[in-house]
Amino acid sequence: MKKVKLLGTLCLLVAMTASVLSGCSSNAGQNGSSSPGDATNGSASDNPFKDHMEISVSWWGIGTGFAQRDDLLQKIEKDFNVTLKPMDIGWDNYKEKSQVWAAAGTLPDIITNALTSDQPATYNEWVNQDLIHALPDDLSAYPNLKTVMEVKGVEGINRDGKYYAIPRMTFPLSEIEAVWAVDRAFFVRKDWMEKLGIEDPKNFDEFNAMLKAFVEKDPDGNGKKDTYGMVMNTLGYFKSAFVPTFPEFGNNGWLKEDGKWIPFYASKKMDEVVVQARKLYQEGGLDPDFAVAKAGEGNQKFYQSKAGAFAFKSGSVLQSNGVRTEWEKNNPGLDFFDHVKIVHLWPDSEGNIYRQVNRPWWSETMINADVDDKKLDRILRIYDWLLSPEGKEVFDYGIEGKDFTKEGDKYTIIREKDENGQFIDLKKKYPSMDIISQMAAWRDASGIEDNEANRAAFGDKPVQFVQDEIKWQLDNAKPIPTEFDIQTLSTPAKDKLSAINFDDDFTRVILSKEDPVKMWHDILKVYDSKGLQQAIAEVTAEMVKRNK
Amino acid sequence: MNKTLGRSIIKNRYVYLLLLPTVLYFVLFQYVPMYGILLAFKEYKIKAGILGSPWAGFDNFAQLIAQADFWQAFNNTIIISLGRILIEFPAAIILALLINEVTREKFKRVYQTVYTFPHFISWVIISGILLNFLGDSGVLNQLLVAFGFDKQAILTNPELFRPLLFISNMWKEVGWSAIIYMAAIAGINPELYEAAHVDGANRFQQLMAVTWPSIRGTAAILLILAVGQAMNGGFDQVFNLYNPGVYKTGDIIDTYVYRTAFSDGASFGVTTAIGLFKAVLNFALLYAANYIVKRLGGEGLV
């Protein structure tokens, strides 16, 4: 009897202890490099893809994108003899997740993050703490990758003579200006403007008056005061409205004022910007819910014909869930291009019109410091292919023989069509396309190119619309004066400025009832306590060294 | 003493053996991770780990105290927590007493279910509901306009944010918090009521002389626990409801830490310092409340 009791107790004990400890099990070993079955050691190989490898990759939403293991993913894995192991990050938590992985020692082999562009301080720290792998000095085996690393501005992320990241270029350099030019736009209801007799605004007051008229003069003619002026996708798009007042405000740049290099928010011109922004809000032209709405919620008001103006990007007319598709979905039977147009920014006090321009890359690929030389070579080979013309062909047209055929330079698209007779979106056919095609470089430019692939996918009108907009911007507007060097410059106090959240403070000033200028100056005092003046001194000293 | 304890352990060895996993759980998951507190006094290096990172003395705390926004968040946390204790805490007691006075068992259940249900809705969803209800194109503003009043920007008005917190949290949690009091009330010996009835007490007098004294102890303990949470202030709720317009009155320590923690890679030390700072204050408050309750003749926790 006693033995039974003891045995029973022990069994229970084991079960309980096991359940307690099961929480402790770690996923150690999941970064193991090569799968043993395929590895054939020793044989000197001229085939660099001989050994099979497992490579872990992090990317936004890669879990769902890779879940189907579609043909495109399988092609890449077969071509490079690898298994890609997805490690998911989300848009709203990728910074935190990388930090946690770094602290826990479970960073993937291929790390996706935005340190070089957004958090140079963390980039320095990761380099100093040996978390990330230096790229080989000689990149001649990877010619396409080499070109990227030689782009002007990239030298800013060089640390002690070595590169630790592959910047994710936003687009081919030849098209840099074109793509940024259509990265910001105010879509405005053309029919409402005509009905209310409003011309394109020629200064801020006319712009404000137009938005006010959308609110007050019942542009949809339903007898109710239920329309809005300006709605936005996110605050960043709306900020263009102040570019004529203060150009550098438009891309959060640094500028030289009174002999010192200062971040845009330290400029004297901010006073006028906060006054104008407050005016837009107070007089009703700006959506009163702009600060409470989550990203993308404002769009709905425009799509549902409740708002007259919408701050977003011109390229959105080409997206499958972009402004044109959504607007037409909500307004059945109406043609987007008959009812909506882009209202351009007005000239500044000196008669110049400015257009958006920004650094050539956003975010980057880093490679785990624990990756061995063989795996590093394999990863760089994959990246070289992703950046090559052969890679671009796959991303533009799909898999040869399945999605297109080619004779010389002539492409024939043979992939399936949807019920409307349009070719189905490659991104829908291959869920991994969105990820694989953008791993090495954003493909923002490919969408706005005037080519067969795009005309087939989007139709002629939207492609022409974007081409016209690019032409207008390049002909009429100048790029915002921008000192790209400073963006990757890292000094102790400048790195600490990342603690400043300008957008939050700007929003606060817009919403408040206090005097905007006084409030703004109080905020600047808080910025000073975070080391703003020190950062200005350090950056100015550094720029003097560079003769700027 | 020691001998008897040892003997009692041997005698009840199986029971102690069964206790072991729970003790192990607390040691492993509650006490061992506490060494992370060291980070508050260190300059964290990822590769070096927590123990290997160099000491930084009180630098992290000094950095913290120098930030103007931190003190705003600190004040807000105290004010909001105090408001919760003054407004939300008694509400649950009152609700429990009121539901108890409902004589029809069926209605009692209905009320209890209706009040408890919102507890299971997450703050993410409630924030969406509130935006639809109180936003510029929301129901409330449409009503205001229909009756000829001006629209009100309720969600971005710093003066209305704290009342909004209290009211919405009460709507969500009051029924749930009342359960524990109702359980205490259910345990009251009915003979006490009968005796009071015989003595001629009316229902209000019964409530004051029988029901309230019976749940006072429970209320005291819950009050001590609530005070011990004072430095928290309800992250989930505030984070989902606030916006830059109401930082002035609504930004609490936890939301402030959340916003600043990951913007600067080197700040693990500072955020741990904030956590430690909060924990120490919470601990002190808990003890103070406990002491006061005991002095007033109640039963404390420790």
Pair B91, B174 in one domain: yes
* The amino acid at B262: F
Residue B173 clears pLDDT 70, i.e. is over it = yes
Residue A42 clears pLDDT 70, i.e. is over it = no
A291 to B156: CB separation less than 8 angstroms, yes or no: yes
CA atoms of A178 and A472, how far apart (whole Å) = 10
Pair A256, A170 in one domain: no
pLDDT (average), residues A389-404: 92
Pair A130, A169 in one domain: yes
Which residues in chain A have Cβ-Cβ distances shorter than 8 Å to B21? Answer: 13, 16-17, 19-20
User: Considering the domain boundaries, does residue A316 fall inside one?
Assistant: yes
Give which of A7, A228, A289 to mutate to test B binding, by max B Cβ within 10 Å.
Answer: A289
CB-nearest to A292 from B28, B66, B243 is B243
Which residues in chain A have Cβ-Cβ distances shorter than 8 Å to B259? Answer: 501, 504
User: Considering the domain boundaries, does residue B64 fall inside one?
Assistant: no
Which residues in chain B have Cβ-Cβ distances shorter than 8 Å to A301? Answer: 137
**Residue A457 burial (CB < 10 Å; 0-12/13-18/19+)?**
buried
Alpha carbon distances (Å) from A199 to A72, A184, A188, A343, A431: 49, 21, 12, 10, 44
CA nearest to A529 within chain B: B67
CA atoms of A97 and A107, how far apart (whole Å) = 9
> Which of B13, B29, B57 marks a domain boundary?
B57
**Residue A271 burial (CB < 10 Å; 0-12/13-18/19+)?**
middle
Higher pLDDT, A117 or A199: A199
CB-nearest to B247 from A17, A99, A508 is A508
User: Considering the domain boundaries, does residue A437 fall inside one?
Assistant: no
Pair A134, A259 in one domain: no
DSSP string, A195-222: HHTPPPPSSHHHHHHHHHHHHHS-TT-S
Give which of A22, A24, A91, A292 to mutate to test B binding, by max B Cβ within 10 Å.
Answer: A292
Pair B246, B210 in one domain: yes
Pair B141, B181 in one domain: yes
**What does the angle CA A210 – CA A215 – CA A216 come to, to the nearest 5 degrees?**
95
pLDDT (average), residues B51-60: 86
User: Considering the domain boundaries, does residue B63 fall inside one?
Assistant: no
Pair B104, B164 in one domain: yes
Q: Classify strands A354-355 and A361-367 as parallel, antiparallel or unpaired.
A: unpaired
Instruction: Give A21's pLDDT tier (boundaries 50, 70, 90).
Output: low
Interface A–B counts its CB contacts (< 8 A) at 110
B262 to A96: CB separation less than 8 angstroms, yes or no: yes
CA nearest to A6 within chain B: B14
| Mean pLDDT value across chain A | 88
Please give the torsion angle defined by the CA atoms of residues A498, A504, A510 and A514, in that order, rounded to the nearest 10 degrees.
Answer: -90
CA atoms of B106 and B111, how far apart (whole Å) = 9
Pair A378, A510 in one domain: no
User: Considering the domain boundaries, does residue A314 fall inside one?
Assistant: yes
CA atoms of A530 and A499, how far apart (whole Å) = 8
Residue A23 clears pLDDT 60, i.e. is over it = no
Residue B241 clears pLDDT 60, i.e. is over it = yes
User: Considering the domain boundaries, does residue A11 fall inside one?
Assistant: no
- For residue A230, the distance in angstroms to the closest alpha carbon of chain B comes to 14
> Which of A394, A413, A441 marks a domain boundary?
A394
CA atoms of A70 and A83, how far apart (whole Å) = 13
Pair A323, A193 in one domain: yes
pLDDT (average), residues B125-135: 90
User: Considering the domain boundaries, does residue A415 fall inside one?
Assistant: no
Pair A165, A198 in one domain: no
Instruction: Give A19's pLDDT tier (boundaries 50, 70, 90).
Output: low
> Is the dihedral angle over the CA atoms B48, B49, B54, B60 positive or is it negative?
positive
A289 to B262: CB separation less than 8 angstroms, yes or no: no
User: Considering the domain boundaries, does residue B62 fall inside one?
Assistant: no
Q: Classify strands A110-113 and A361-367 as parallel, antiparallel or unpaired.
A: antiparallel
Pair A251, A189 in one domain: yes
CA nearest to A21 within chain B: B25
CB-nearest to B47 from A17, A130, A508 is A130
Pair A165, A77 in one domain: yes
* The amino acid at A212: K
Pair B26, B117 in one domain: no
CA atoms of A312 and B146, how far apart (whole Å) = 33
B42's CB contacts (< 8 A; 6+ apart) are B50, B53, B54, B55, B56, B269
Which residues in chain B have Cβ-Cβ distances shorter than 8 Å to A12? Answer: 18
Higher pLDDT, A530 or A377: A377
The complex scores an ipTM of 0.75
CB-nearest to B20 from A13, A496, A530 is A13
At A180 the pLDDT is 86
Query: A398, A59 in Cβ contact below 8 A?
Result: no
At A40 the pLDDT is 41
Burial letters for A34-51: b for 16+ Cβ neighbours within 10 Å, e otherwise?
beeeeeeeeeeeeeeeeb
A287's CB contacts (< 8 A; 6+ apart) are A228, A229, A230, A231, A232, A293, A298, A301, A307, B136
User: Considering the domain boundaries, does residue B119 fall inside one?
Assistant: yes
Number of structural domains in chain A? 2
CA atoms of B221 and B289, how far apart (whole Å) = 9
Query: A164, A123 in Cβ contact below 8 A?
Result: yes
Instruction: Give A2's pLDDT tier (boundaries 50, 70, 90).
Output: low
User: Considering the domain boundaries, does residue B66 fall inside one?
Assistant: no
Tell me which DSSP letter residue A423 carries. B
* The amino acid at A116: T
Instruction: Give A29's pLDDT tier (boundaries 50, 70, 90).
Output: very low
Using the structure block, give the residue that is written with the tokens 């070096």.
Answer: B48
- For residue B127, the distance in angstroms to the closest alpha carbon of chain A comes to 10
Alpha carbon distances (Å) from A175 to A391, B219, B241, B268: 18, 69, 42, 41
Percent of chain A clearing pLDDT 90 (strictly above)? 59
A495 to B259: CB separation less than 8 angstroms, yes or no: no
Pair A234, A315 in one domain: yes
pLDDT (average), residues A204-229: 93
Pair B113, B252 in one domain: yes
Pair A240, A281 in one domain: yes
Sheet with A110-113, strands from edge to edge, namely A82-89, A53-60, A110-113, A361-367, A166-169
Backbone angles phi, psi at B244, to 5 degrees: -55, -30
B263 to A495: CB separation less than 8 angstroms, yes or no: no
CATH of the domain at A238: 3.40.190.10
At A33 the pLDDT is 38
A289 to B137: CB separation less than 8 angstroms, yes or no: yes
pLDDT (average), residues A395-420: 88
A91-95, A183-187, B98-102: least confident range = A91-95
Which residue(s) pair with B42 in the sheet? B55
Alpha carbon distances (Å) from A462 to A336, A418, A445: 10, 18, 15
B153 to A13: CB separation less than 8 angstroms, yes or no: no
Give which of B25, B47, B71, B123 to mutate to test A binding, by max A Cβ within 10 Å.
Answer: B47
User: Structural domain of residue A525, as residue ranges?
Assistant: 184-355+481-545
Pair B214, B96 in one domain: yes
Work out the angle between the directed axes of helices B212-228 and B158-186 (0-180°, nearest 10): 140
CB-nearest to A9 from B18, B48, B135 is B18
B244 to A507: CB separation less than 8 angstroms, yes or no: yes
DSSP string, A240-277: GGGTTT-GGGGGT-EEEETTEEEEGGGSTTHHHHHHHH
Pair B44, B118 in one domain: no
A511 to B156: CB separation less than 8 angstroms, yes or no: yes
Alpha carbon distances (Å) from A106 to A26, A36, A99, B103, B158: 10, 21, 10, 60, 42
Pair B277, B208 in one domain: yes
Number of structural domains in chain B? 2
Backbone angles phi, psi at A441, to 5 degrees: -155, 140
Instruction: Give B1's pLDDT tier (boundaries 50, 70, 90).
Output: low
B263 to A501: CB separation less than 8 angstroms, yes or no: yes
CATH of the domain at B172: 1.10.3720.10
Tell me which DSSP letter residue B47 carries. T
Name the 3-class secondary structure at A347. Answer: coil
- CB atoms inside a 10 Å sphere around CB A307: 27
User: Considering the domain boundaries, does residue B42 fall inside one?
Assistant: yes
A68-77, A81-90, A478-487, B182-191: least confident range = A478-487
Backbone angles phi, psi at B57, to 5 degrees: 60, -135
B20 to A125: CB separation less than 8 angstroms, yes or no: no
Which residues in chain B have Cβ-Cβ distances shorter than 8 Å to A107? Answer: none
Pair A172, A307 in one domain: no
Query: How remote is the C-alpha of A354 from its chain's centroid?
Result: 22
Using the structure block, give the residue that is written with the tokens 């939050």.
Answer: A504
Pair B223, B139 in one domain: yes
User: Structural domain of residue B48, as residue ranges?
Assistant: 1-57
pLDDT digits (tens, 9 = 90+) for A475-492: 999 999 988 878 778 888
Query: A208, A279 in Cβ contact below 8 A?
Result: yes
User: Considering the domain boundaries, does residue B160 fall inside one?
Assistant: yes
Nearest to A166 by CA among A394, A372, A387, A374: A387
Higher pLDDT, A331 or A322: A331
CA atoms of A530 and A532, how far apart (whole Å) = 6
CB-nearest to B265 from A17, A19, A125 is A125
Higher pLDDT, A35 or B285: B285
Higher pLDDT, A14 or A81: A81
User: Considering the domain boundaries, does residue B67 fall inside one?
Assistant: no
A119 to B156: CB separation less than 8 angstroms, yes or no: no
pLDDT (average), residues A224-230: 91
CA atoms of A405 and A417, how far apart (whole Å) = 16
- For residue B161, the distance in angstroms to the closest alpha carbon of chain A comes to 13
Pair A99, A188 in one domain: no
At A47 the pLDDT is 83
A494-498, B6-10, B153-157, B225-229: least confident range = A494-498
Which residues in chain B have Cβ-Cβ distances shorter than 8 Å to A103? Answer: 46, 268
B20 to A226: CB separation less than 8 angstroms, yes or no: no
Pair B87, B153 in one domain: yes
Query: A244, A354 in Cβ contact below 8 A?
Result: yes
CB-nearest to A103 from B46, B145, B151 is B46
pLDDT (average), residues A159-185: 85
Name the 3-class secondary structure at A96. Answer: helix
pLDDT (average), residues A364-389: 95
DSSP string, A351-400: S--EE----SEEEEEEEBTT--HHHHHHHHHHHHHHTSHHHHHHHHH-SB
pLDDT (average), residues A222-246: 93
CB-nearest to A17 from B21, B131, B248 is B21
Instruction: Give B86's pLDDT tier (boundaries 50, 70, 90).
Output: very high
User: Considering the domain boundaries, does residue A426 fall inside one?
Assistant: no
pLDDT (average), residues A509-532: 93
A51's CB contacts (< 8 A; 6+ apart) are A34, A38, A39, A40, A81, A374
Higher pLDDT, A258 or B260: A258
Pair B20, B150 in one domain: no
Higher pLDDT, B34 or A35: B34
User: Considering the domain boundaries, does residue A262 fall inside one?
Assistant: yes
Which chain B residues touch A if contact means CB-CB below 8 Å? 14, 17-18, 20-21, 24-25, 28-29, 45-48, 66-69, 131, 135-137, 145, 151, 153, 155-156, 243-245, 247-248, 259-266, 268
- For residue B5, the distance in angstroms to the closest alpha carbon of chain A comes to 21
Nearest to A83 by CA among A363, A382, A373: A382
CA nearest to A95 within chain B: B262
Which residues in chain A have Cβ-Cβ distances shorter than 8 Å to B24? Answer: 17, 20
User: Considering the domain boundaries, does residue A427 fall inside one?
Assistant: no
Work out the angle between the directed axes of helices B105-116 and B89-101 (0-180°, nearest 10): 160
CB-nearest to B69 from A103, A496, A526 is A526
Query: B197, B286 in Cβ contact below 8 A?
Result: no
Which residues in chain A have Cβ-Cβ distances shorter than 8 Å to B245? Answer: 291, 507-508, 511-512
Which residues in chain A have Cβ-Cβ distances shorter than 8 Å to B262? Answer: 95-96, 99
Q: Classify strands A260-263 and A166-169 as parallel, antiparallel or unpaired.
A: unpaired
Instruction: Give A24's pLDDT tier (boundaries 50, 70, 90).
Output: low
